[in-house]
Amino acid sequence: MDSSFWIVMAVVLALVVAGYAAVLLVRVFRARRLLLDAGVPLQSKALFWAAVVYTVSPVDLIPDPVYLDDVGVLLLALRALHSAAARSAADREELKG
């Protein structure tokens, strides 16, 4: 395999990761309302903000321009925030019902 194959593969991988990062960015902006919700635990909100700080921080587990660790940390924080919000909504429904 020649070097042009590896260059093409690197570009394709970079585009896939960039696309996934764009999707996560949209999810981050949609998660803003969860951060204002009083029922979501402070721990989940703090985890989310720690992930955002890690994402923009120059210190990484995997050196940039490979953003896999940044995307992974942010994805885990978003999932934790969404699950905490779902638990909070379920708890509120139990109290109403």
pLDDT digits (tens, 9 = 90+) for 38-47: 778 888 888 8
- pLDDT for position 31: 78
pTM of the prediction? 0.64
Instruction: Indicate the average pLDDT of the chain.
Output: 81
Q: How many Å apart are CA 52 and CA 55, to the nearest integer?
A: 5
C-alpha angle 58-61-66 in degrees, rounded to nearest 5: 75
- pLDDT for position 65: 67
Return the half-sphere exposure (C-beta side, CA atoms, 13 A cut-off) of residue 67: 17
Binned at pLDDT 50, 70 and 90, residue 84 comes out as: confident
- For 57, the 3-state DSSP assignment is coil
Residue 25, pLDDT above cutoff 80? no
- pLDDT for position 3: 84
